[in-house]
Amino acid sequence: MFRSFWILFLSCAALFLTGCPTPAPEKPPIWEQTKIGDLAPHVAAEPNQQLSDIINFDVYVFEIPATDANILGNIWPALYTQPLQFNSYSAFAMNLFAAGFGQTQDWNRIAEYLRNANAKRVERNSLVLLSGRPKDLYVTSIDSEKTIFYTSVSHVSEGVTIGPGSFVLRIKAQKIPEQRGVCDMSVQPVFTPPRKFRLPLRAEDGKTSPFAFDALELELKMSPGDFLLLGPKRYTTDQSGLAGLFFSTDVPRPSVKLYLFVCGEIAD
């Protein structure tokens, strides 16, 4: 019960940043109108799933106006990197990616930074994961062939020609049998072609194959109420690099995007 309370508290804190039109003065803030049923993690089994294998995450997407993006310099030092495991932390940073771990007591400070930076919550996704099976969270897409430049695990600058298709964050969680209420969670940027291309291809057609950016995968252990924040080290508009593709947008205004992953229920 205590753990459930803190999960709801963290979700409620995230909700107050929802991007709404200027409310009428007499109305209470939106986070005071939120119902418990709107916040409770939703756990629904897909066909052939066992409820005991289900792990729930809520994913919130925030946008910060580009003019206020310097707040990132306050946000990342306020979170923890020790629990995070990288394929290469140096390569992760060289790609201008940043991430931080926190628990419920850490959220108020982050929420205050977001509020001061005029951040808006623009999206919420409830992910019901089957232990060990990944799900993709859509980020953006390209409608033609494009060369993307990135720093590899070996710290070498490389380019890959891909497209058309979508860029996603591939999320996977695995229960830890000997640790009740704990899971191993991973996030990795991946390019995925349209479904019609997901067939065996000739070598020269490799640009339409899925492509996982191994240098940007991270893993960590999470329990209900823990959160992971993922975003750019700094704001960039360079759409030939991964930080610009994943974390920058011009619609409806130049903004930087942050992804907040909140661990919900881990079924027993």
- What burial class does residue 94 get, using C-beta atoms within 10 Å of its C-beta: 0-12 exposed, 13-18 middle, 19+ buried? middle
Overall average pLDDT of the 31-36 stretch: 31
Residue 59 included in any domain: yes
Cα(19)–Cα(30) distance, integer angstroms: 10
For residue 202, name the pLDDT band (cuts at 50, 70, 90).
very low
Q: Is 48 exposed, middle or buried (0-12, 13-18, 19+ CB in 10 A)?
A: exposed
Partner residues linked to 184 by β-bridges: 174, 221
Considering the domain boundaries, does residue 189 fall inside one?
Answer: yes
3-state secondary structure of 93: helix
161: helix, strand or coil: strand
Task: Please indicate, yes or no, if residue 47 is contained in any of the structural domains.
Answer: no
What pLDDT sits at residue 53?
84
Higher pLDDT, 104 or 49: 104
Q: Given pLDDT bands bounded at 50, 70 and 90, which one contains residue 10?
A: low
Q: 248-262, pLDDT tens digit by residue? A: 999 889 999 999 999
Q: Tell whether the model's pLDDT for residue 204 goes beyond 90.
A: no
Burial 125-138 (b: 16+ CB within 10 A, else e): eebbbbbeeebebe
- The Cα 48–Cα 200 span in angstroms is 27
Is the pLDDT assigned to residue 83 strictly greater than 70?
yes
**Total tally of structural domains belonging to the chain:** 1
Is residue 162 a contact partner of residue 146, using CB atoms and an 8 Å limit?
Answer: yes
Do residues 221 and 83 touch, judged by C-beta distance below 8 A? yes
The Cα–Cα gap between 195 and 198 comes to 5
Q: Is residue 71 assigned to a domain? A: yes
> Can you give the residue range of the structural domain that contains 104?
2-40+54-266
Asked, for residue 252, whether it belongs to a domain, the answer is yes
Q: Is residue 48 part of a domain?
A: no
Question: What is the structure's pLDDT at 134?
Answer: 95
Domain-embedded: residue 45? no
Task: Give the tokens for residue 224.
Answer: 């209900």
Question: Does pTM surpass 0.85?
Answer: no
Do residues 85 and 218 touch, judged by C-beta distance below 8 A?
yes
Judge whether residue 32 has pLDDT over 60: no
42 pLDDT more than 70: no
* Confidence class for position 195, pLDDT limits 50, 70, 90: confident
Percent of the chain with pLDDT over 70: 76
Q: Under DSSP, is residue 14 helix (H, G, I), strand (E, B) or coil? A: helix
Mean pLDDT for all residues in the chain: 83
In a domain, 226, yes or no: yes
> Could you give the 3-state DSSP secondary structure of residue 16?
coil
Cis peptide before 164 (omega within 30 of 0): yes
pLDDT at 12: 55
pLDDT at 11: 54
Contact indicator for 131, 173 with CB cutoff of 8 Å: yes
Beta strands in 38-105, from DSSP E residues, in sequence order = 54-65, 85-86, 97-102
pLDDT at residue 13, rounded to an integer:
54
Whether the Cβ atoms of residue 184 and residue 174 lie closer than 8 Å to each other: yes
The pLDDT of residue 174 is 95
